[in-house]
Amino acid sequence: MEKKSIPSIFGSLVFDDRVMRARLSQKVYNSLRKTIDENEDLDEKIASAVASEMRDWAIENGATHFTHWFQPLTGVTAEKHDSFITPSPDGGVIMEFSGKELIKGEPDASSFPSGGLRATFEARGYTAWDPTSYAFIKDHTLCIPTAFCSYAGDALDKKTPLLRSMQALNKQAKRILKLFGTEVKNVRTSVGPEQEYFLIDEAMFKKRPDLVYTGRTLFGAMPPKGQELDDHYFGAIKPSVISFMEDLNEELWKLGILVKTEHNEVAPAQHELAPIYSTTNVATDNNQLTMEIMQKVARKHGLACLLHEKPFAGVNGSGKHNNWSMATDTGVNLLSPGDTPHENAQFLLFLCAVIQAVDDYQDLLRLAVATAGNDHRLGANEAPPAIISVFLGDELTGILEAIKNDTPYHGTEKVTMKLGVHSLPKFSRDTTDRNRTSPFAFTGNKFEFRSLGSSNSIACCNIMLNAAVAESLRQYADILEKADDFDSVLHDLIKDTIKKHERILFNGNGYGEDWIKEATEVRGLSNLKTTADAMPHLLDKKNMDMLISHKVFTETELHSRCEIMLENYCKTVNIEGHTMVDMVRKNYLPAIEGYLFTLAKATSYMQSVSDHVKCSYEVSTMERLSELTDSIFASCIALEESLKKLQDAGNIIRTSEAVRDDVLPKMEALRSFVDEAEMLMPESCWPFPSYGKLLFSVY
């Protein structure tokens, strides 16, 4: 069959601007556009008109059902399908979809985590259409992107605070732009998330209970080859992976997702996919969809797509890079250095706003990426450390230094920088990138936050980032709006900000031991190593004050989120612990015992035949395996006891500390004995596929 061209399939399953323009009346279209572009409330009559066209379009494209598609705090997306059918008097059915059904849904939400926000007896929350993210068709169902709230109006999802944080930033950024003489309709943040993942053989995936239950391997000795040859990164892509990628791209293009880049990553069986950036809430929806479709397409190809942050010990885990910038509706990127002194001053102020935001709210950025899975990566020399710092590159750092010290910048032009008067010296963008050890790097016209885990929703970190930058901008606007001599107040503001926040700037090697010492002991930066350490800071007064003042969260929402995230951490590790116990008792110990018996029998048979048989392999293997069996058994019991104790730890903070200090180390110990035993056992007697098989059998 002839392949269809990309432009002809792109967005074919999306009720996008092209479809709206073609199908809606001018009046309805204009009104909807105003809602999308300027956040104006939507008239109910307009909603009905949109709903009826949406239904017709969806049915023409094969849909039978509709759903409000939302992002509860579980981290995955949720949907509850309703068919369009309504009985007609003649005994048949007609296909109906009203404006009300488009705008508002009422899923029975009692089983979603709410952190005590909504007692289960008052189970109903409601979903509300987010018209700024286009509706689409998936599995014969019209999916309407929505926000999810309780009846009291508390957000029960990740999208609501994300939209609020975008509003907060929009409001403050417009105040600043106005001071520079620019009036715009809105300022939006854009994100391009680079997504890493593993692809392994599905049949082998199914044979590993750890992968099935937890998404990561809890046992496994290293194969002879790992990633040491660096031969996988950007290597030729294997045919079955290419065929998966082709299929995936097509599915994502149909959904209007701008997938652009694909390549092999560092670890064997690891790959990356990146779309072209888009507005943050759309990018978030698209990334959630991408993760879902990746797993679905993989299954069609006999593969399993692993999105866990650390599916395999000993090789790199997977992250997600959050490329972030702010732009006006007129197309100006506020993080792009300009050509005139005026534009440069504006750029520097927005740059300072980000630097200050990252310094003031390091802990919020850190906890926004904290999960049980991501704890395995951060600080393990494969991903940025848990310490948050900003990389600017030598040239931009030099410029800031010159401003701070009123000294000439020794770039191409040697001038003392007086902002608003002098042009910024030109610096080449290419030199700003490629410090892969920095968690937060300026890459020419955007910042790249690299600490996210591969399975994280990008909503979490962008909520915090947008809110924190909105707060810097608010402070600047308060000062600048009162200024008599704008240029000189601006100059001092930038200078002061650099002085005050330069401790967060670091261009060196973030993996080095010296950095940890310098960052924590000299600079006083925070080093929150685990989720249990990081998450409680959500409730620090300075953080709550900021998030509440910008109306990103309410106090109740913050308490509930902290609880849910910690609960999620504890439950995740609890499941992992129980999975380990299960595998040890049901499979590993019986397998080793069986082999011990074989060795013992063989030794005794052989020695009964001849006195000259030494049986050194049999005896020494038997002795070591028998010791290991004892150790495995003892550590399994110890782990079981620790897991049991979790139930009585009291509150969630203490439970999470017990997980960190007691359960995880016990899991580590148990694993080490099993992995050693694996190296002594014949492959035919080992109950699960080895790392070698898992990592190297896709062609």
Which residues of the shown chain bind ligand ADP in the complex (CB under 6 A)? Answer: 190-192, 194, 274-277, 323-325, 333, 443, 445-446
Beta bridge partners of 261: 274
Nearer to ligand ADP, 150 or 325 (CB): 325
- From the list ligand ADP, Mg ion, none, partner contacted by residue 274 (C-beta under 5 to 8 A by kind): ligand ADP
CB-based burial of residue 405 (10 Å sphere; 0-12 exposed, 13-18 middle, 19+ buried)? Answer: middle
Kindly tell me which of 274 and 419 has the beta carbon lying closer to ligand ADP.
274
Nearer to ligand ADP, 159 or 446 (CB): 446
Between CA 234 and CA 221 the distance in angstroms is 26
Contact pattern for Mg ion over residues 314 through 353, marking x by CB under 5 A? -------x--------------------------------
Residue 275: contacted member of Mg ion, ligand ADP, none (CB under 5 to 8 Å, by partner type): ligand ADP
Q: Tokens 């959630």 identify what position? A: 288
Which residues make beta-bridge pairs with 117?
Answer: none
Residue 29's SS3 state is helix
130 contact, one of Mg ion, ligand ADP, none, CB 5-8 Å limit per kind: none
Nearer to Mg ion (CB atom), residue 48 or residue 322: 322
| Tokens 């920088």 belong to residue | 417
CB of 321 to ligand ADP, least distance (A): 6
Which of Mg ion, ligand ADP, none lies near 325, with the C-beta cut-off 5 to 8 A by kind?
ligand ADP
Partner from ligand ADP, Mg ion, none binding residue 190, C-beta < 5-8 Å depending on class: ligand ADP
Helices (H), 79-201: 99-103, 159-179
Residue 318 touches which of Mg ion, ligand ADP, none (Cβ within 5-8 Å per kind): none
The option from Mg ion, ligand ADP, none interacting with 445 (CB < 5 to 8 A, set by class) reads ligand ADP
Q: What is the phi/psi pair of residue 286, to 5°?
A: -65, -35
**321 vs 501, which CB is nearer to Mg ion?**
321
Q: How far is the CB of 325 from Mg ion (least distance, A)?
A: 12
Q: Which is closer to ligand ADP, CB of 325 or CB of 457?
A: 325
State in angstroms the smallest separation of the CB of 325 from ligand ADP. Answer: 3
Euclidean distance between CA atoms 637 and 461, whole angstroms:
39
Q: How far is the CB of 323 from ligand ADP (least distance, A)?
A: 3
In whole angstroms, how close is the CB of 35 to ligand ADP at the nearest point? 24
Rounded to the nearest whole angstrom, what is the least distance from the CB of residue 284 to ligand ADP in the complex? 13
Query: CB-based burial of residue 614 (10 Å sphere; 0-12 exposed, 13-18 middle, 19+ buried)?
Result: exposed
Distance CA 470, CA 110 (A): 34
Question: CA 674 to CA 204: how far, in whole Å?
Answer: 19
Identify which of residues 136 and 324 has a Cβ nearer to ligand ADP in the complex: 324
Q: Which amino acid is at 505?
A: L
Closest to ligand ADP by CB, 28 vs 191, is 191
Here the tokens at position 509 are 């090697």
Query: b or e along 468-483 (b: 16 or more beta carbons within 10 Å of the residue's beta carbon)?
Result: bbbbbbbbbbeebeee
387 binds, among ligand ADP, Mg ion, none (CB under 5 to 8 A by kind): none
CA-CA distance, 155 to 490, in Å (whole number)? 38
DSSP helix/strand/coil, 613? coil
Nearest-CB residue to ligand ADP? 192
**Gap between the Cα atoms of 42 and 28, Å rounded:** 10
Q: Toward ligand ADP, which CB reaches closer, 72 or 275? A: 275
Token digits for 292?
């879902």
Report d(CA 164, CA 200) in Å as an integer. 39
Q: What is the nearest approach in angstroms of ligand ADP to the Cβ of residue 260? A: 7
* Under 8 Å between Cβ of 74 and 113: yes
Q: What is the DSSP letter of 75?
A: S
Whether 135 and 144 have beta carbons less than 8 Å apart is answered as yes
Q: Which does 446 bind (CB under 5 to 8 A by kind): ligand ADP, Mg ion, none?
A: ligand ADP
* In the complex, minimum distance from the CB of residue 257 to Mg ion, in angstroms, rounded to a whole number: 18
For Mg ion, how many residues bind (rule: CB under 5 A)? 1
22 binds, among Mg ion, ligand ADP, none (CB under 5 to 8 A by kind): none
CB of 96 to ligand ADP, least distance (A): 40
Contact between 199 and 303 under an 8 Å Cβ cutoff? The reply is: yes
Q: Could you tell which of Mg ion, ligand ADP, none binds residue 201, using a CB distance below 5 to 8 A set by kind?
A: none
Of the pair 428, 610, the CB lying nearest ligand ADP is at: 428
Cα–Cα distance for residue pair 367/494, rounded to 1 Å: 28
Minimum CB distance to Mg ion smaller for 186 or for 195? 195
In sequence order, what are the beta bridge partners of 390?
440, 505
Alpha-carbon distance of 96 to 117, in angstroms, equals 34
Instruction: Work out how close the CB of 266 gets to Mg ion at its nearest, in angstroms, rounded to a whole number.
Output: 14
> Which residues contact Mg ion by CB under 5 A?
321
